[in-house]
Chains A and B, each alone.
Chain A
Amino acid sequence: MSVTDKQPVDPESSTVHEVVEVPVSRRRRIGTGIVLAVVGLFCVLAFGLGSHAGYDATFGLSSLAAAHNLPDVVLPARVTAILLGALVLVLAGWQLGRGFSRRQLRWVLGVTIFCFVMAFLCWAMTGTKGTTIDFLGLLQNTIFTATPLILGALAGIMCERSGVINVAIEGQMLAGAFTGALAATVASSLGVGMVAGMVAGSLMGALLAVFAIRYVVNQVVLGVVLNVFALGLTGFLYDALMQPHADTFNNPNFFGPKQLPLLGDIPFFGPLLFDANVIVYLTYILIIAVHVGLFHTRWGLRTRAVGEHPRAADTVGINVLRTRYVNVIAAGLIAGLAGAYLTIGTIGAFSKNISSGKGFIALAAVIFGRWRPLGALGAALLFGFADALQTVLSIVGTPVSIPSSFLAMLPYLATLFAVAGLVGRGQAPAADGVPYVKG
């Protein structure tokens, strides 16, 4: 590939890797087929035959707040689980006999995971007769948990695509969360709080940029230092300002949900996607903006060029350092928004270390999503889903009681396995974390 290409026609072909579709090797094909077969058998034997016969699995699809609702879906649990397992077995058979192409395989794996999860839910609901799982609520909680992760991951992608490692997402979120709550309270305006939170995030981003680009500090060490800095600073200011004067400095309220006209009235999808608060809507827009920006605009091409081969980019006249500054500081805005979501988007108050490690999960989503916005979206949603599922399972109980400490591992386990199975080996931008010094 050449960096000087003026027309990035196909986004796939403008990166160094994945230029040619490599056929799946025989060994890999059989291996994947066996894994699918094991999953299918597990669904049939454990979830199908392991569930109480004659019990129903009820999926609640309605929301109390919505005007139009779908009726609950009631399925015979055992039969459904066996059918879902059988579908996976059919896919496994095809994979072993003929083999799917790489592109098809992604869909196959997606369907397999869906079948596995649904069969699992069917089984889980046979613990007590008449158990209903609010499926819509489960997905709503998924988005609730995933939103800050998605925003944090988008910030990480913008930095790393331009060649600056961002370990400081957590710190930027904290700064945004603190400033968002403070400014919203002082100005009595949530909008002001949101903007202030974004600015605070970008100031943290500017610190990262200056030290990483101007002073060529090791970027991982720098990120860790910035995280500790943000934790200490917000903690200190919380003790000094917010804790003694909560009403004047830490009482911002939070964005309530705003139902969109028409879209919000769609049964199921309306309450799920279009009855959220303004930060969630901004998240939708940002996902599309960053994706389109990175792969379909001049800015994106330059960013990726700077992240892959800064010297070549410099040779053709791209200002490498400026591109990096712009990206890192703009990414800070998004991470700050993620932070603001944690206070004025959900809770309505700041408390120490409110981000509780979400910045690091977002960083993981960047890598699991292979430095792509849509990949990171998938990773964040998966984590959010597993987290929400864990909570619901602990509430409804399962036929075989699962210890709560084991359930708590579920989000992390699910992310690990999905990454190993679906994503495989990712490739970071070639110049990620490598400072550029002219000359």
Chain B
Amino acid sequence: MRKIVQAVAVTGILAVALSACGSKSDSGTGTNNTNPGSGGKALKACMVLDVGGVDDRSFNQSSWKGMTDAKQANSNLAISYVASASQNDYTPNLNAEVAKGCQTTIAVGGLMTDAMIKIAKKNPTKKFGIIDSNTGQPNVYGMQFNTAQGAFLGGYLAAGMTKTGKVATFGGVNIPPVTIYMDGFWEGVQYYNQQKNKNVQVLGWNEKNQKAGTFANSFTDQNKGKSISAAFAQQGADIIFPVAGGTGLGAGALAQSSGGKVNVMWVDTDGCVSAPQYCKYFITSVVKNLADAVNKYVTAAASGAFPTGTSIGTLKNQGTGLAPFHEFASKVPSSLQSELTQVKADIISGKIKITSPAQPK
């Protein structure tokens, strides 16, 4: 019996030590005290990240960058984040941030919509922000992005660059903030086909069939991302557009294995900055300017005027678009580059209509 007690005791100590590690890591990287900028009004702003961690090289990372950017300009901001380990953490995390006394809490990701609505109703005096969602609540500011516009350019570019006549895209999970990219990509390819009388195929997604398509069902499983990319390559695709957070890095690994026969178009952030090890294989990235939207919101909130309603990032206001070509700058023909400029102008002017059902309204 004594031995069992001993063992339980040691196990308990391990568990306590472990949880101590966990909380330390959060507050350690979560509070940023560098570079005090010019003084502004104080505000305690908190962020609840989606699964994948703050360093997912994708949406969590760029949302958090918006907070640190705002902090650099206004040293009186107190910023912190808490990461979600699973979808079950959304509600407790949001509750904890409210209880901590955060004056505004930003939820990163449309998957938190339901949890956010509940908590916003329960705390009508608190202010909230949410990315990729329009909750309709008076105290929740929605930051949405019509990334179909940026992805449209990506699709057009991919169609112009493919040598095999097949390009591919896959998602993390079948939800509107993911499929909006896939829709835009698909439409861009169709537009290219129509303009040039070509027949470039899109594997893994068809806007006309929203229930089907290729999904990893994970934003973290890089091995799954690699096996999906391998299947695309086997079916003949030579450009892959993963819309799956960290899972998408598996596409980079596959491109590396293929020795450059397969290339990748990165998503959300500029891939050459967020995942530089695969920069060689990134044609470009379809970016979503999360950092800018978060920065604007937090800065406005700190000035005392909490924005209300929603904002929509578009090509016109630089909320979405294509990142620089980096190592592909010399490989993308200049005629294709100028066509892209024209397509972009046509989308902004409304000459090209984007039909994705996932677009924010």
Contacts and interface: CB of A to CB of B under 8 A. Distances in A.
B227 A404 contact: no
A101 interface: no
A286 interface: no
Contact of A395 (B7, B19, B214, B223): B214
A147 to B, nearest CB: 10
Contacts of A148: 223
A351 interface: yes
B4 A215 contact: yes
A225 B253 contact: no
Contact of B277 (A145, A342, A349, A387): A349
A78 B29 CA distance: 60
A42 interface: no
A251 B252 CA distance: 14
Contacts of A259: none
Interface in B205-235: 206, 209, 211-215, 217-218, 220-224, 226-228, 230-235
Contact of B235 (A217, A392, A404): A392
Contact of B22 (A134, A232, A405): A232
Contacts of A239: 25, 28-29, 55
Q: Determine the main DSSP class of B at the interface with A.
A: helix
Interface in B227-266: 227-228, 230-235, 246, 249-250, 253, 256-257
Given A236-B22, A239-B25, A141 B212 contact: no
Nearest to A148: B223
Contacts of B209: 401
B15 interface: yes
B62 to A, nearest CB: 15
Interface string A133-164: 11011101100110010000000000000000
Interface in B6-37: 6-8, 10-11, 14-15, 18-19, 21-22, 24-25, 28-29
Interface stretch (A81-89, A295-303, A352-360): A352-360
Contacts of B10: 211, 215
A233 B249 contact: no
Interface residues of B, number: 53
A235 interface: yes
B204 interface: yes
A402 interface: yes
Contacts of A396: 235
B211 A401 contact: yes
A82 to B, nearest CB: 26
A216 B3 contact: yes
B211 A404 contact: yes
B137 interface: no
A356 B220 contact: yes
Most chain B CB inside 10 Å of its own CB: which residue of A140, A148, A256, A394: A394
A379 interface: no
B231 A403 contact: no
Given A256-B257, A356-B221, A394-B214, A211 B22 contact: no
B276 to A, nearest CB: 9
Q: Determine the main DSSP class of A at the interface with B.
A: helix
Contacts, number: 150
A229 interface: yes
B227 A228 contact: no
B231 A229 contact: no
B4 A216 contact: yes
Interface in A216-235: 216-217, 222, 225, 228-229, 232-233, 235
Contacts of A235: 22, 25
A401 B212 contact: yes
Contacts of B250: 347
B203 A141 contact: no
A351 B222 contact: yes
B11 A232 contact: no
Given A225-B11, A225-B14, A347-B253, A137 B213 contact: no
A349 B55 CA distance: 13
- Chain A, interface residues (CB within 8 Å), range: 35 or more
Interface in A353-400: 353-354, 356, 387-388, 391-392, 394-397
A119 B14 CA distance: 53
A391 B237 CA distance: 14
Most chain A CB inside 10 Å of its own CB: which residue of B21, B29, B209: B21
A174 to B, nearest CB: 13
B212 A347 contact: no
Nearest to A240: B25
Contacts of A353: 220
A354 B7 contact: no
B162 interface: no
B212 A402 contact: yes
Interface of A: 60, 132-134, 136-138, 140-141, 144-145, 148, 211, 214-217, 222, 225, 228-229, 232-233, 235-236, 239-240, 243, 251, 254, 256, 342, 346-349, 351-354, 356, 387-388, 391-392, 394-397, 401-405, 408
Interface of B: 3-4, 6-8, 10-11, 14-15, 18-19, 21-22, 24-25, 28-29, 53, 55, 168, 174, 203-204, 206, 209, 211-215, 217-218, 220-224, 226-228, 230-235, 246, 249-250, 253, 256-257, 277
Given A394-B213, A395-B231, 10 more contacts: A133-B235, A148-B223, A225-B15, A232-B18, A352-B220, A356-B223, A388-B231, A391-B227, A401-B209, A401-B212
14 contacts: A137-B230, A214-B3, A216-B3, A217-B11, A229-B14, A232-B21, A239-B28, A243-B55, A346-B253, A349-B222, A354-B220, A392-B235, A395-B235, A404-B215
- Give the top 7 A-B pairs by smallest Cβ distance, nearest first: A137-B234, A215-B7, A134-B234, A394-B214, A236-B21, A403-B211, A232-B18
